[in-house]
Amino acid sequence: MTHLKNRRSSTLSETTILIIEDDPDIRELIRYHLERDGYRTIEAETGENGLERVQEESVALILLDLMLPVLDGLEVCRRIRAESGSKRIPIIMLTAKGEESDIVVGLEVGADDYITKPFSPQVLLARIRAVLRRGVRNVLNDDEALQIHELAIHPARHEVRVAGVPVDLTRTEFEVLKYLVNRPGWVRTRGQIMAAVHGHVHSVTERAVDVQIVGLRKKLGEAGCYVETVRGVGYRFRE
C-alpha cells in the first residue's frame, strides 16, 4: 500500500497547476490543498504575471480567477487560447459572482469548466481530476465508433444505438449528440452548440437548441438522462 501511495505522489508531483488569483488568502488555501494532494503549484497574482508563467513553465492546468485587476480573467483566457503553445491547456475558471452570464462568456472564450466561490476544496480537487482526465481522451473521429454508457455512436454511418436498438435521429439531433459526447462532462453553452452544429446561421436561435435537446432526450428514452441541463448555461453529456 505504501508503495502504491508513493507512486501516486510521484506521478502527481509532475503535474503542475498554475493558480492565477489576486487574493493571497485564496491562493494560499488552494495551494495548500493541491500540494497536500500531491500536485506541484505555481502562482500569479495578476493576469499579466499569469501569462508570463504560462510561457515560462510546463503547465498541466490553470485555475483562473475571473475578477482580476487590470487584465481580467476573460482576457487572460482569450490570450491563452490564441497562443499555439498554450491553447490546449485546460482552464478552470474561478468566479465569485456566480452569475450565469459570466459563466457563459467564460466558457465561450475557452474555459473548460468553472467553479463558483466560496467552494469546497474537495469539490475543487474533484473538478481538477475530472478535467485532467478529459484532457487525455481522444476526440471522436468520424471513422470510429464510440461506446459510452449503453449508447453506441458511429459518426460515419450516422448511426446511434441504445442497448443495441437503433435510434432514428435527425441530422441536427445527431450532430448535437456527437458534439456533447465528444467531451463527456464538459459544459457546452447554447451558443457553442449552435456554432458547432449550425455554424453562424443567424436564423437559428438558442431556443432552437433547447427544442433539439428535448427531441433528442425523447428519442434516446431512458438514456436521455445522460444529456444534462446546466441551468442558465447550457448542456453536458454525463461522464
DSSP state string for 113-173: EEEESS--HHHHHHHHHHHHHHHTSPPPPTTS-EEETTEEEETTTTEEEETTEEE---HHH
What band does 1 get if pLDDT is binned at 50, 70 and 90?
A: very low
**Lowest-pLDDT range of 35-39, 96-100, 127-131:** 96-100
pLDDT at residue 93, as a whole number: 92
CA 138 from centroid of its chain's CA atoms:
14
The residues, any chain, with a CB within 8 Å of residue 34's CB and separated by 6 or more, are 17, 19, 41, 125, 128
Residue 14 has pLDDT above 70, yes or no: no
Same fold: 2-135 with 146-237:
no
The fraction of the chain above a pLDDT of 70, given in percent, is: 87
What band does 148 get if pLDDT is binned at 50, 70 and 90?
A: confident
* Fold for the domain defined by 146-237: Arc Repressor Mutant, subunit A (1.10.10)
What band does 184 get if pLDDT is binned at 50, 70 and 90?
A: confident
pLDDT at residue 25, as a whole number: 94
Distance CA 97, CA 73 (A): 13
The better pLDDT of the pair 91, 118 is held by: 91
Pairing of strands 113-116, 91-95: parallel
**Lowest-pLDDT range of 5-14, 48-57, 77-86, 160-169:** 5-14
**For 2-135, CATH number?**
3.40.50.2300
Q: Which residue has the cell 428514452?
A: 221
What band does 142 get if pLDDT is binned at 50, 70 and 90?
A: low
* Domain extents in the chain: 2-135, 146-237
**pLDDT digits over 193-231, tens only?**
888 887 765 556 778 889 999 999 999 999 999 999 998
Q: Is pTM, for the whole model, over 0.75?
A: no
